[in-house]
Amino acid sequence: MLEQLKGKQVLIHFLDGTHIGDGILEEVDDKFVKYKTEYQELYIPVSSIRTVSVNLKERQKPKVGFA
């Protein structure tokens, strides 16, 4: 399933509640995932991942101010 996400920008949520974003899923193995950000190259065990999400569309920011 993760093979389909190779080369896409994803957000990874971990079992301990933390997450990492703004990176690209480069390689997928049955034990590890290679995730690359602008500053780091991470090798993440698949067993520590809770979910992987992909943004399909940019969210519109709410307009704030007085008209």
d(CA 31, CA 39): 23
At 15-34, the pLDDT tens digits run 999 999 889 999 999 999 99
Q: What is the mean pLDDT of residues 41-56?
A: 93
Q: Characterise 59 by phi-psi region: left (phi > 0), alpha (psi -120 to 50), beta (else).
A: beta
Let me know if residue 47 belongs to a domain: yes
Residue 67 pLDDT exceeds 90: no
Q: Give the structural domain span for 23.
A: 2-53
Let me know if residue 66 belongs to a domain: no
Q: What is the mean pLDDT of residues 49-67?
A: 83
Let me know if residue 59 belongs to a domain: no
Residue 42 pLDDT exceeds 90: yes
Let me know if residue 46 belongs to a domain: yes
The rounded Cα 29 to chain-centroid distance in angstroms is 16
Let me know if residue 67 belongs to a domain: no
Structural domains counted in the chain? 1
How much is the pLDDT for 65?
A: 73
